[in-house]
A and B are shown apart, each in its own frame.
Chain A
Amino acid sequence: MTEILELTAAAAAERVRAGELDPAELFDAYRERAAAEELNAFTWVADGPPANGDYSSAPLGGVPLAVKDLFCTEGVPSQAGSKILEGYRPPYTATVVRKLAQAGAPLLGKTNQDEFAMGSSNENSGFGPVLNPWDRTRVPGGSSGGSAAAVAAGLAPWAIGTDTGGSIRQPAALCGIVGLKPTYGACSRYGMIAFASSLDQAGPLTRDVTDAALLFSRMVGRDHCDSTSLEFPGELTLPKAQDLKGIRLGVPEELTGDTGGVEPGVRESFEATLKLAEGLGATIEPCQLPHAPHALSAYYLIAPAEASANLARFDGVRYGLRVDGDKDLLTMYAHTRAAGFGPEVKRRIMLGTYALSSGYYDAYYGTAQKVRTKISEDFRAAFERFDFVVTPTSPWTAFELGAKTDDPLAMYLNDFCTVPMPLAGIPAISIPSGLSDDLPVGFQLAGPAFSEQRLLDAAYALERAIGFDGSSARR
């Protein structure tokens, strides 16, 4: 078992294809760990591997996949971390989950998350918080906290999550793993229970950059069920770059200066990583993203506004919870939603409804959309001079459970470095850059739209130079 556990997903896939590892044994090894876990990372675990599992030529080699709860999976509980969908079993499977299963990554289980992906700590789940495997008194980050904790703790070889304002990258950083938020439109959103439709993207959470590249390469592509999805331009191959010669890295002063409240330990790790990058041949210079400090405000108007519309569907009529069905229709709606949604979801629905309401629309939502334009322009200008923009992924390492639950704004500030990218629709990756007081720190690289291949290559070269060892979280 220990031997299986220490294989990366890509290495395990290779062994299965070479006939050196029985995929059923691989599945059972992880199934047992997932079923016995104590982090509350899973909301559902499969009984066993799917029948007829011949993975001898499958690109993903039968390596089982943990899937964030909000991906619809046929016949399997898909609750988006919400009591309003408790026990809901959809009649169809999300496109990316289906594609990954077809490529040879069978479903291992569904992972816990902040309710409807709203949160940065996983404390907003209707099914209890997830614990960080590095320190069980701390949060794993969110909203894809279950996926991140599962991969970090070796309960799953790899996982997928979704990122709207940082929900893949931030938990990846806090759990010491790799998380990629792809270009908007690279992966189909069909079957993802929607939070903010113009921002949501699915992506991999993995032990290393190679695993992320392998999983991502099988997630992409246009899907007629999602008219915002696009064909991925060019081919995706496993990263090979040995150095960063000729790569220009821009360090945005607005996101790395004092305004973001970056902790000293995080700053130290960030600066040490810049030194390593320089040693690999990269040039490093400050750059400007003048509107980036306003990204958080724009995000906390746009995302809740879209959420308030998307979550209107949870009304006790077609699926999920119904409360007071013997009263009149409007009372049934209001009581169902009051009972089914948690406090953070209610807060965001209220914020979004307010931002869209008559008399406030222009001042809030309209202004936020203009800021979004300026943020995209800032990135475009930066990418004329730089290949990538780099920042710490999160200003802090994993914080203690309950430390920020009483102050929504303090919790939102966690997303300071991760919200500008989805507003501009561009890809970004977080890789572990080291430890600060025994807790993982994440290093973020962001590139232009559809630059994932170059981004993964650069992250790979950097990963090798950093030499992060996450094995202690797997015990």
Chain B
Amino acid sequence: MLDRDQVLHVARLARLELNDAEVERMASELSHVLDHIEKIGELDLEGVPPTSHVVDVTNALRQDVPVPSFPRDVILAAAPEPLEGGFGVPSPGASPE
């Protein structure tokens, strides 16, 4: 069961602003889903190795050949605020609201 503080903590980790109604709904919906999911905790999985990837490939290597990348202006064309040839962002130090 997730409480309000846990939801707010996870939302901070996820860089997601939630309003009060969303916090309430998220706590109840996620708890409901987790109740179902938690049944896997009842399985005996002692000594079972985890699978992170199904394909049996390790170290896919290739020659380290330099190739031209996209021109800077092409990439910056999609940026919300291109600035002096880079991505403009607000200062991390600006005082929050």
Binding site for B on A (CB under 8 A): 88-92, 184-185, 198, 224, 227-228, 230, 291, 294, 296-298, 300-301, 308, 312, 315-322, 325-335, 337-338, 341, 346-347, 349-351, 353-354, 357, 363-364, 366-374, 376, 408-409, 412, 423-425, 449
Interface size classification for chain B: 35 or more
A328-B95, A372-B50 known; A91 vs B80 contact (CB < 8 Å)? no
Question: What is the minimal beta-carbon distance from B20 to any residue of chain A, in angstroms?
Answer: 13
Chain A residue with minimal CB distance to B45? A370
Task: Summarize A's interface: helix, strand, loop or mixed.
Answer: helix
B92 at the interface (CB under 8 A from A): yes
Chain B residues within an 8 Å CB radius of A315: 15
Chain A residue with minimal CB distance to B78? A319
Contact of B50 among A296, A322, A349, A366 (CB under 8 A): A366
A308-B14, A328-B90 known; A294 vs B80 contact (CB < 8 Å)? no
Chain A residues within an 8 Å CB radius of B13: 353, 357
Contact of A369 among B14, B17, B50, B93 (CB under 8 A): B50
Complex: how many Å from CA A449 to CA B57? 14
Chain B residues within an 8 Å CB radius of A350: 7, 10-11, 14, 16, 26, 30
Chain A residues within an 8 Å CB radius of B49: 370, 373
A370-B49, A374-B48 known; A328 vs B36 contact (CB < 8 Å)? no
Contact of A368 among B30, B40, B70 (CB under 8 A): B40
Q: Are A326 and B90 in contact (CB under 8 A)?
A: yes
Chain B residue with minimal CB distance to A365? B50
Complex: how many Å from CA A230 to CA B16? 36
Complex: how many Å from CA A333 to CA B35? 31
Chain B residue with minimal CB distance to A227? B60
Complex: how many Å from CA A350 to CA B62? 37
Q: Are B57 and A338 in contact (CB under 8 A)?
A: no
Complex: how many Å from CA A230 to CA B43? 33
Besides A328-B95, A329-B91, A349-B14, 9 other CB < 8 A contacts?
Answer: A327-B90, A328-B90, A332-B90, A349-B16, A367-B40, A370-B45, A409-B36, A423-B54, A425-B55
Chain A residues within an 8 Å CB radius of B57: 185, 227-228, 230
Question: What is the minimal beta-carbon distance from A162 to any residue of chain B, in angstroms?
Answer: 16
Question: What is the minimal beta-carbon distance from B24 to any residue of chain A, in angstroms?
Answer: 13
Binding site for A on B (CB under 8 A): 2, 6-7, 9-11, 13-18, 22, 26, 29-30, 32-34, 36-41, 43, 45, 48-55, 57, 60, 62, 70, 74-75, 77-81, 87, 89-97
Question: What is the minimal beta-carbon distance from B40 to any residue of chain A, in angstroms?
Answer: 5
Complex: how many Å from CA A296 to CA B75? 39
A297-B40, A346-B16 known; A331 vs B97 contact (CB < 8 Å)? yes
Complex: how many Å from CA A74 to CA B36? 42
Q: Are B50 and A319 in contact (CB under 8 A)?
A: no
Complex: how many Å from CA A374 to CA B71? 47
Chain A residue with minimal CB distance to B80? A322
Q: Are B15 and A91 in contact (CB under 8 A)?
A: no
A184-B55, A300-B33, A371-B43 known; A89 vs B89 contact (CB < 8 Å)? no
Chain B residues within an 8 Å CB radius of A312: 15
Complex: how many Å from CA A189 to CA B70? 19
Chain B residues within an 8 Å CB radius of A337: 14-17
